[in-house]
Structure 1
Amino acid sequence: MKNRNNIFLSSLVAFSLVFWACSDNLEEIDGNPRNITQEQLEVDFQNVGSLYKPMFENIYQYTPVWSYQLQQNLNADIFSGYMTNPRPFVAGANNSTYNLVSGWNNFIWSVPYSNVMNNARTIENETKEEFPELFAVSQLLKVSAMHRVSDVFGPIVYTKFGASATTSEYDSQEEAYNAFFIDLEQAIMILSENIDSPRFTAFDLAYGGNYESWIKYANSLRLRLAIRISKINPAKAKAEGEKSLNHPIGVIEANSESFFINGTLDHPIKTINNSWGDIRMNASIESILVGYEDPRINSYFITSEVNEGEFKGIRNGLPLLPGYADELAQKADYVTFSLLSETVLSPRVQLMTAAEVFFLKAEAALRGWSGAGDVQANYEQGIVTSFDQYSISGAASYIGNNILTPKDYVDPVTTSNSTNALSTITIAWDNSASNEEKLERIITQKWIAMFPEGQEAWSEYRRTGYPKLFPVVSNQSGGVVDTDLQIRRIPFVDSELQTNPDGVSNAISKLGGADNAGTRLWWDVQGGNF
């Protein structure tokens, strides 16, 4: 009994000491949320964690499929020269013929604002002060989505998003880009300071919570945006690009570091392509890939039924052709052209590849930016990396080919749509070529490597004029869009015109031209391409 009493007294003393120690710290614990338990932290992270998945999945929306079709497939994917719709929707008066369908184009605007900007604002309010690394990732996703929106419309609602309940003030595209650079710089700094934090792992659909990979992506995205403004503001472009090129962690350099969204659903183009028959190979990419005898074509497309054993694309902007009773009758002939391959339509949604980054570095080197390395070495490594992405051999012989060029296009259904190739550019690097010719080589190979990401391909085509794409067969814009210059932007959408007319009026004043599809964006500089 005596021993038991001693044990009891010892336990009581120990408990008292712990109690008083805890009591002394209760005020500190209550006043400092950083001291909450791991279990409480996990609950709090779940409170914001559920907001990240919609952000990842709505940079472009891949469910429901029809939303993606309207958000990107029936605009950027076809304007880029990658794909064409075989059915002449609305009797041929649709986006592909520049008779823009405003109801379709609303989704380019509404999807990222509803699912990315709204969520980013909530995450910022919940995490910026206490868990800044969670805020930083949301900023990167926000810039990933919203630079695409700006590259479609020009001015956007960004820095003042949510500032007013009655109206939303637009930034000019220059102001938006300046804000993108600020947000990227802040995110890179925050992630660098918290690089070992595990807090985002459970919600990361791209890099498994690896902040070093996120920093490489952020640097690569900043380099992309810097190159984008290189003609309109060379000094700013150089300064921002060199921050990424000379950053100690650097940019994406391996296929394992590419930015993919790791979804569980099929790529939306798979349904549009296979089940609906609403998209097929574009004549421009047929001309280039077949002309170059590019082995990547087998990973991108399958051979056609119209010319069995051959890859066959469709010219953009087909009207309802004479001899066809209706849209479906015409579609029946053109749906037999080349489908996209299953290989390129995996559930992983591609938004930036290592190959693209090497081509960005090649152009940066061509422009004399420090840290970019050698132009030719980057150009050739971009091709090698693209081949490796699809486990394709033969890159060395492809790189050395100085004979093959894009080929003429032949339409086996409507011969009047046939046309001559627009470019004589070869593959092999030529150090004696002009900067303009070097730029055409870089962008042409970059365009091939970025497939099927039509938004970025269309933006780069507008910025540089490369690769040279076939014009639409039927231009139904009423003179608004120049057939040879092709479409430059999408007008502001009906939902904004109806709910935010003052904001749109202000946006048009910042656009620098009429609110139509022929007006160039801020970075889309007319004149010498280099």
Structure 2
Amino acid sequence: MNKIIKYTLASFIAISLANCTSNFEDINTDPNGISNESLTQMNNHIGGSFTPMFLNVFNVTPAWNFQLQQNLIGDVYSGYMTPPTPFAGNVNNMTYSLVDGWNGFPWADAYGSVMPFALDIKNAVELGGDPAGEKFVHLSNIVRVSAMHRVSDIYGPIRYAKFDDFATTGEYDSQRDAYNAFFVELGAAIDALKAFEGDSQFIPFDMSSLGGDIAMWRTYANSLRLRLAMRVVNVDATLAKTEGEKALASDAGLLEATDMYINTGFAHPLTVISGAWGDIRMGAEMESILEGFDDGRKEVYFQPAEDPTLNGAYKGIRMGVEIEAKGQYGAHSALGSVIEGETIQWMSAAEVYFLRAEAALRGWSGSGTAQANYEEGVKASFAQHGVGGVDVYLADNTSTPNDFVDALNAVNDIAYQGDVKIAYDAAGTNEEQLEQIITQKWIAMFPDGQEAWSEFRRTGYPRIFPVVVNNSGGTIDTDVQIRRINFVQNELNTNGDNVEIAKGYLNGPDTGGTRLWWDIEGSNF
């Protein structure tokens, strides 16, 4: 893949442009144009900083940046997708030889184009002195939590709570402290933004499906709070329940009929990666589950294989197998119409229903019943993708995931280690019900592999196949699978003392085999 470039200057150029205009008014005032005072009155001095934040939670352009930020980490480790391309002679992320030159991009995008611009908004509001500007700080905090929990879920400790102070900007928070900061900021935003419901000043700057509606931003923030509450349930059940029940009881509500996505103005990068480059294909787990369930969403998520010997089947590739050349598996199933258009999904209503289903299973107040939420989640996902037959699907109590059969090499064949079904079994054990919830949640969150990988690490569901080729040198256990990405090389080079402190926050060495703070081995109950 010659499209992958080691470094990008775009975000740093944007920062420079944002910070080099302090004398602009004195040097370049146009008496016939729009003055800086007028720009300030329209909040453009604040609103412009939202654009790079929106475009870097997922970096959508150039496509190779997204490939390194998201696709060759979360998308492949989730079981959603696998490259047919033997990058670096098949010694790469997929075979657990972690490529530092690739894996720094989630960090670079966040610290180049999210965190600095959130600070710019905060500083601009403070300098402006208008109390109404507070709403922009809370909105930017919601966006940065959306971005930074993903970064933390890749690496673990991050630079967050002390970032805004120059004297401490290089210091790391443990993942526990970072998550506590996320909860504080989301709670503050949900409470404070209530006073601004109906305010229209954010409309010109909002690139999301929420259209600048402050009430809907409260709803999204509250839904995000529920996601993060569930993320920590195995490591801190009390914190999880407290934050989860706040979300369930909040007057902000939860996403039910609206999906949260960003209108980027660019084609989805997966259309390039899958289509023009042919660098990503259906994952083996997607084939096993969607084909085993005869799930109609497969026709939206993927295309039939182009290999004529496969007779139009939907065919995936197991991650971490021996691939000698791109032509071997390149004619397997490419991605489908789900990636058409210029939007990137941050959270779906379906995901929120599955969060509520798990909350009910765990006995959290205000969550309803697990089965009702589960079924509403499946219905929301089918509706989102325009797929029919949901009632018949939900009544299916016999179908189970297929075993995976490699079309080219029987060495890669593997049985699916479970018999999870579609029709909800309220009489099943908690683990059995959770597997149903998370399996359907995993299907519904496609194509956001980062979130799916996080949920697999948290719960163990669905049952992701282990790699066949493990080039980690023993740092990642084949059966336990990869749990995180090691700290960024550029940070080690430029902020080494603080990185050494951050390593002490881990549950083990700075390798891909060390579990994150919330990633607890054993039962989910």
**Shared fold by TM > 0.5?**
yes
Which residue pairs with 2:305 in the alignment? 304
Partner Cα distance (2:329, 2:430) in 1:
39
CA distance, structure 2, for counterparts of residue 69 and residue 41 of structure 1: 36
**1:521 lines up with 2:524 in the alignment:** no
Report the 3-state secondary structure (helix = DSSP H, G, I; strand = E; otherwise coil) of the residue aligned with 2:337.
coil
Distance 1:177 1:346 in 2: 33
Determine the C-alpha separation between the residues in 2 that align with 1:522 and 1:160.
Answer: 20
What is the letter of the counterpart of residue 481 of structure 1?
I
Q: 1:343 aligns with which of 323, 326, 338?
A: 338
Equivalent residue pairs, number: 484
Tell whether the 8 Å contact from 2:97 to 2:471 is kept in structure 1 after alignment: yes
Matched-pair contact (CA < 8 Å) for 1:409–1:420: yes
CA contact (8 A) 1:461 1:467 kept: yes
| Aligned: 1:83 with 2:81 | yes
Q: Name the residue aligned to 2:381.
A: 386
* Matching residue within 68, 71, 86 for 1:70: 68
**Match for residue 115 of structure 1 among 85, 96, 113:** 113
State whether residues 80 and 458 of structure 1, in contact with CA within 8 Å, keep that contact through their aligned partners in structure 2.
yes
- Relative to structure 1, is the Cα distance of residues 153 and 248 closer, same or farther in structure 2, using a 3 angstrom cutoff? same
Amino acid at match of 1:377: A
Which of 243, 246, 253 pairs up with 2:246? Answer: 243
1:260 aligned onto 2:261 = yes
Query: Equivalent residue for 1:270?
Result: 271
1:109, CA displacement in angstroms? 0.5
| Equivalent in the alignment of 1:179 | 181
Structure-2 separation of matches of 1:172 and 1:86: 37
Cα deviation digits, residues 456-477 of structure 1 (max 9, x gap): 0000000000000111121111
User: Residue 466 of structure 2: SS of its match in structure 1?
Assistant: coil
Which of these residues, 430, 439, 446, is aligned with residue 434 of structure 2?
Answer: 439
Alignment of 1:125-524 (within 5 A): 125-127=123-125, 130=130, 131-164=133-166, 168-206=170-208, 207-254=210-257, 257-306=258-307, 307-320=310-323, 324=324, 330-524=325-519
Corresponding residue number in structure 1 for 2:44: 46
Residue identity matched to 2:73? N
Given that residues 82 and 319 in structure 2 are in contact (C-alpha distance below 8 angstroms), is that contact kept between their aligned partners in structure 1?
A: yes
Aligned mates of 1:220, 1:396 — CA distance in 2: 26
Judge conservation of contact 2:271–2:339 (CA < 8 Å) in 1: no
Question: Structure 1 stretches (4+) deviating beyond 6 angstroms?
Answer: none
Where does the alignment leave 5 or more consecutive residues of structure 2 unmatched?
A: 1-34
**1:343 corresponds to which letter in structure 2?**
V
| One-letter amino acid of the structure 2 residue matched with residue 363 of structure 1 | E
Contact 2:80/2:286 (8 A) holds in 1: yes
Paired residue for 2:13? none
Output one character per residue of 1:320-359: Cα deviation in whole Å (capped at 9) or x when no partner. 4xxx4xxxxx211211000000233331101100000000
Secondary structure of the 1:305 match is: coil
In the other structure, the counterpart of 2:100 is 102
Larger Rg: 1
Contact 1:167–1:502 (8 Å) recurs in 2: no
Pair 1:215–1:166, CA change in 2 (3 A): closer
Contact residue 158 and residue 173 of structure 2 kept, 8 A: yes
Distance 1:263 1:273 in 2: 19
Residue aligned with 1:350, SS: strand
Task: State TM-score, norm by structure 2.
Answer: 0.90
Counterpart of 2:19 in structure 1 is none
Indicate the residue corresponding to 1:327 in structure 2: none
The answer on whether the counterparts of 2:270 and 2:339 sit within 8 Å (CA) in structure 1 is no
Q: Distance in 2 between matches of 1:486 and 1:415?
A: 22
Deviation at 1:166, TM superposition (A): 8.2
| TM-score normalised by L of structure 1 | 0.89
Determine the C-alpha separation between the residues in 2 that align with 1:41 and 1:190.
25
Asked if the contact 1:287–1:409 (Cα under 8 Å) also holds between the matched residues in 2, the reply is yes
In the TM superposition, what whole-angstrom CA distance separates every residue of 1:421-455 from its partner, at most 9, and x where no partner exists? 22211111111100000000000000000000011
> In the aligned structure 2, how far is the partner of 1:134 from the partner of 1:351?
19
For structure 1, the residue ranges without an aligned partner over 5 or more in a row are 1-36, 325-329
Distance 1:69 1:189 in 2: 37
Query: Using the alignment, how far apart are the partners of 2:167 and 2:247 within structure 1?
Result: 37
Q: What is the CA RMSD across the aligned residues, in angstroms?
A: 1.5
Q: Is the 8 A contact 1:384 1:395 kept in 2?
A: yes
Contact 1:422 1:469 in 2 (8 A): no
